[in-house]
Amino acid sequence: MTSKPKILIVYTGGTIGMVKDYKTKALKAFDFDQILHKIPELQQLNCIIDTISFKNPIDSSDMNIAYYIQIAEIIADKYNDFDGFVVLTGSDTMSYVSSAISFMFENLQKPVIFTGSQLPIGDLRTDAKENLITSIEIASAQNNGEPIIQEVGLYFEYKLYRANRTTKISAEHFQAFSSMNYPPLAESGVHLNFNHAILTANTKKENKLIFRKRLCSNIVILKLFPGITEAVIANYLNIKGLKGIVLETYGAGNAPTSEWFLKIIEKFIANGVYIVNVTQCSGGSVMPGHYETSTRLKDIGIVNGKDITTESAVAKMMYLLGENLAKEEFKTYFEMPLRGEISA
């Protein structure tokens, strides 16, 4: 650790990195190499800031596994040179990418804070400056020379969340994200207050960072709705190379009890496809067997997603499928918290 923490800003793209040309009214990419000049308030922070940007910034809608790996590789390559990282991405897919990054790093002992904005950094009423300044402050916060945050977080509109617990809930309001099943790790007001009781801390400091970048994207999300037909679900059986399904069920994990539905689910499992049961609700948990409509799914062998978000379930499935685990190992690891993504 240096006397002043060194923070690396990684800009991948997204609204936060755009400024308006007031002559043409067009948006153009912000030059983060000039960040201290453009945002002089950053010089008041007790840290040293460096930046790195994607050569071709990407829109959040274009996020994919290749970009996940690119972000993670930057962090892994610079891990020993910096005390914390702030990653700027588009907010639309931020919960997906930040959840994935949380699984790609094991024994993380430094903060990786994702943030972005609803308005470009050059707009008069932008939320970008506050989100960026506070994210850097959080990434550089230390206690007795150790980072206070030692996990992947997502900061937006005065709240720091565990990244793999988040969902984007609004395209209109500055408070764009929520974490229904886990409280904020920190809140920014007059003071920056950390919820120390729920923070992840790596007690085995001798354990080195492990970077895992084998991710499998041969998965789908299947959201149930009243009236969904046999033909629609059966067509998923024809997807070549399908490895996993995140099944969004009703309430506490309930699904149709029709024999045709259950037989299709059994065919998926017989074909070696992993199915994880997650709730469509914003908050709450899957509780297999709590109602009769979920008992059959439990008996068939569907994996219990508990209170995991859909975004985190997708990321965790990509990660575990990439590890080529045996069937029972996959179920065991998915149903246990690996990065604080589900409740034990």
Q: Which residues are annotated as catalytic? A: 15
* Nearest in space to 148 (alpha carbons), one of 182, 110, 113, 112: 110
Written as one letter, the residue type at 242 is L
Residues 20, 6: contact at Cβ < 8 Å?
A: no
Integer Cα distance of 114 and 312 in angstroms? 15
Integer Cα distance of 266 and 254 in angstroms? 16
Q: Please classify residue 143 by burial: count the beta carbons closer than 10 Å to its beta carbon, then call 0-12 exposed, 13-18 middle and 19+ buried.
A: exposed
Return the structure tokens found at 126.
């932008």
Written as one letter, the residue type at 251 is G
Cα angle 180-181-183, degrees, rounded to a multiple of 5: 85
Integer Cα distance of 184 and 138 in angstroms? 13
Integer Cα distance of 149 and 112 in angstroms? 8
